[in-house]
Amino acid sequence: MAEAASDVIFCTFDPARPGPYESYLLPHIPVQARLEPERFLGLGAAFGQYALAAAAVSFDRETPGQVLADSLFVDPEVRGQGIATQLLRLAAAVAAEAGAHTLKLSYILAGPELTAMDRVARKMGGDPAYVRPVYTMDSAQFRDSALLGRAFTAKYRPPESVVPFTDLTREQIEALYADPEVPWYVHPRNRTRMRPELSLAFLLEGRVAGFWLGSVSTPGNYSVQGVWRSPAAPVTTFHVLVAAHLNLCFYHGGGDFRYHCSPAVAFADELIQRYSEGKCRRLEEHAASIPLPYNE
């Protein structure tokens, strides 16, 4: 069993002012912690003044019995020494002290790191389960693509049938929202993180007949929030939309970016494989629930 070196100290810190732990936290944590300071707590591991690892726990008013631990990152130099295990034990202690009955873990990883996290979760009495795939790709990898490379050239212009959501009229939006063909899991109304200025609609005879919803989490990290094409739209609709969306992200961020997608259904999974020509990195989101109080 991995055991943390005895001279490593474990502590809590304010994630709104993470100091040396900043580079170990996902960038949205300090931002959210500044907005909702009472909701987040940082957990850190350090050797003297040097930070080695961090994680965040969040308390949700709507689920007071549950505390979520995520954003766990251990410096590659000190992995395999029990630091993740110790940080999650600290998370369990913090959550139990706050009166929670469950510590929830959520992580998006691949390969040995995913195995390591599943292992820690199981050892703590959790039941790690697959949630969904998460694909990630660097936009530079699209440049040589016969299908999508043109989206990165100065000559590229999206066709007139493709417009940003911000250009849709109220009537077009209302007709789209009332369209019973749009599945609930990609419906723009339910995709709370979608950003209209980064989302594109495909128009057919003045009506929205397809869309590609986008978002940005941190600078340079764009994601796909949902895609849809009406049966009436041409079969090439997705191809047109994905090229236009890559072009939009490229100009929005002013250069290369990372592109993330998490398909909800098998057809979207196939779509990603087709357009990325199998080059995207596949990670998995796993979740686990650890019953509290946690005892060795």
Ligand X SMILES: CC(C)(COP(=O)(O)OP(=O)(O)OC[C@H]1O[C@@H](n2cnc3c(N)ncnc32)[C@H](O)[C@@H]1OP(=O)(O)O)[C@@H](O)C(=O)NCCC(=O)NCCS
196 upstream amide cis, omega within 30 of 0: no
CB nearer ligand X, residue 120 or residue 198: 120
Q: Which of 13, 40, 107, 257 touches ligand X (CB under 6 A)?
A: 107
56-64, 67-75, 138-146, 227-235 -> range binding ligand X (CB under 6 A): 67-75
CB of 290 to ligand X, least distance (A): 14
CB nearer ligand X, residue 101 or residue 123: 123
Q: Which of 19, 64, 112, 291 touches ligand X (CB under 6 A)?
A: 112
CB nearer ligand X, residue 73 or residue 211: 73
134 binds ligand X (CB under 6 A): no
Q: What is the DSSP string of 143-154?
A: TT-TTTGGGGST
CB of 169 to ligand X, least distance (A): 41
Residues in the chain, overall count: 296
Return d(Cα 38, Cα 294) in angstroms, integer.
24
**Residue 161, number of CB atoms within 10 A of its CB:** 18
Q: Would the CA dihedral through 197, 193, 70, 260 be positive or negative?
A: negative
Per-residue binding string, ligand X, 9-28, x by CB under 6 A, is: -----------------x--
Sort residue 171 into left (φ over 0), alpha (ψ -120 to 50) or beta: alpha
C-beta separation of 151 from 142 below 8 A: yes
C-beta separation of 28 from 215 below 8 A: no
CB nearer ligand X, residue 123 or residue 239: 123
Per-residue binding string, ligand X, 221-260, x by CB under 6 A, is: ----------------------------------------
Return d(Cα 268, Cα 95) in angstroms, integer.
37
Return d(Cα 29, Cα 16) in angstroms, integer.
8
Return d(Cα 66, Cα 290) in angstroms, integer.
10
C-beta separation of 42 from 25 below 8 A: yes
Q: Which of 33, 51, 84, 249 touches ligand X (CB under 6 A)?
A: 84
57-65, 78-86, 135-143, 220-228 -> range binding ligand X (CB under 6 A): 78-86
76-84, 136-144, 166-174, 219-227 -> range binding ligand X (CB under 6 A): 76-84
Q: Which residues bind ligand X (CB under 6 A)?
A: 1-2, 26, 71-74, 79-85, 107-109, 112-113, 115-117, 119-120
